[in-house]
Amino acid sequence: MGNIYLVGFMGTGKTAAGKELAKKKKWQFLDLDELIELREKRTIPDIFAQEGEPYFRRIEKKVLKEASKEKKFVYACGGGIVIDKENIKVMKETGIIICLTATPEAILKRTSGYAHRPLLNVADPKKQIELLLKLRAPYYAQADKTIDTSKLSVKEVTAKIIKLTLRSKKIKTGFMFIELLLVLAIIMFIAFKVFKLYFKGPSLNKETQQVISEQGIDTTSSKSIIDSTRNKLEDIQNQHIDELNKIK
């Protein structure tokens, strides 16, 4: 496994669980939003206010692509990172995606009083949460695993993530083992066919047997049978072609 990407709506516990998970696994932790702020030298709300969301999403995409090149990292991703299908592709190719979810009520409680949530700075934040959750549901559904954190502590969420990633690793290893067995079976089948062809002699049809009998080919050598028979059959084929040409 390369990396673990924690996605999901704001307030679902990605940063808190991500830090605990990295500590447990002895990996590195990185919050992509914090990295964006360092790169841009301004806060997320300022980026949204000054440049707009499309600009932020372009920066987010670039930062993810660069960060994904690392190994054994736990990434806490922004809530809207899943909207871009290329981001999903990058994360799946370089690790496993775990989506953390929560009820609108739990999210509202966790995010209330925080001005750094630009998308919730509206008159009715609960209604906005419900709307955004509905819009993003198809994108979050693309995650490899999903955990509802509404009634879980950070340690409980971390334990669930570790359990899910271990199970996913075992399943992946199992599929790889099956693929290996299939490859070995194909190799053995081909090897058997080659052995049979060159050491036991090919299965000969009536026309081939007739040519062998008429031409007095040495049947003790499988290679001799193959080479001589091929030449004779080619002669017969050429004769048939000449006859057809004469008819035309």
For the chain, what is the mean pLDDT? 80
195-198: list long-range contacts, CB under 8 Å, 24+ apart: 197/222, 197/226, 198/222, 198/223
Tens of pLDDT, residue by residue over 192-241, are: 655 555 555 555 556 555 655 665 655 555 555 556 556 665 666 566 55
Which band of pLDDT confidence, cut at 50, 70 and 90, is reported for residue 185? confident
Beta-bridged to residue 4, according to DSSP, are 74, 96
How much is the average pLDDT of 174-190? 66
113-125 mean pLDDT: 66
Q: Please state which of the ranges 53-67, 158-172, 222-236 shows the lowest mean pLDDT.
A: 222-236
CATH superfamily of 3-177: P-loop containing nucleotide triphosphate hydrolases (3.40.50.300)
Q: How far apart are CA 149 and CA 130, in angstroms?
A: 16
**Which of the residue ranges 44-53, 87-96, 163-172 would you say has the lowest mean pLDDT?**
163-172
pLDDT at 247 over 50: no
The DSSP result for the chain, as a single string, is: --EEEEEESTTSSHHHHHHHHHHHHT-EEEEHHHHHHHHHTS-HHHHHHHH-HHHHHHHHHHHHHHHTTSSSEEEE--TTGGGSHHHHHHHHHHEEEEEEE--HHHHHHHHTT-TT-GGG-SS-HHHHHHHHHHHHHHHHTTSSEEEE-TT--HHHHHHHHHHHHHHHHHHHHHHHHHHHHHHHHHHHHHHHHHHIIIII-PPP-HHHHHHHHHHT--TT-HHHHHHHHHHHHHHHHHHHHHHHHHH-
Domain edges within the chain: 3-177, 201-247
pLDDT at 115 over 60: no
pLDDT (mean) for 162-172: 69
| Average pLDDT of the residues in 170-199 | 61
Residue 71 has pLDDT above 60, yes or no: yes
Is the pLDDT higher at 157 or at 202?
Answer: 157
Q: Confidence class of residue 169 from pLDDT cuts 50, 70 and 90?
A: low
